[in-house]
């Protein structure tokens, strides 16, 4: 018989509205103040990719992130499509840098990665 996983809370600061997770409290609201860990994805191209190609890729990404069928499929999986300022290359770069600064020391302290 298959084993089941029971969810007790979400790791976002705000409650999620996706059908699978909409009734779960946040860890922040459950007493772990400020706790926020999310999964995110980025679209990358090799260094030196011509600017017009990068623009075309970024425009396609923006279009995909607005597609109702895509959003519906992601929500069915419990994901939230975040089409915010991070969809712009410069903003995404800042976000990645902040994530490295945030989690780098934790990863190194755990011995998962070392320079």
For 60-81, write each residue's pLDDT tens digit: 999 999 999 999 998 888 788 8
Given a cut of 80, whether residue 42 has pLDDT beyond it is yes
What is the pLDDT averaged over residues 11-35? 90
| C-alpha of 48 from chain center | 26
Q: How far apart are CA 45 and CA 57, in angstroms?
A: 9
Q: Chain-wide mean pLDDT for the chain?
A: 90
Given a cut of 90, whether residue 18 has pLDDT beyond it is no
Tokens of residue 81, six digits:
């499509």
């Amino acid at each position: 018989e298959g084993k089941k996983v029971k969810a007790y809370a979400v790791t976002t600061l705000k409650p999620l509205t996706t059908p699978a997770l909409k009734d779960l409290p946040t860890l922040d609201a459950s007493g772990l103040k400020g706790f926020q860990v999310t999964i995110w994805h980025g679209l990358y191209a090799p260094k030196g990719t011509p600017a017009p190609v990068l623009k075309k890729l970024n425009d396609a990404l923006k279009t995909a992130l607005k597609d109702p069928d895509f959003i519906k499929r992601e929500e069915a999986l419990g994901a939230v499509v975040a089409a915010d300022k991070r969809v712009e290359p410069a903003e995404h770069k800042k976000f990645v840098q902040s994530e490295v600064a945030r989690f780098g020391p934790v990863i190194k302290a755990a011995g998962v990665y070392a320079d």
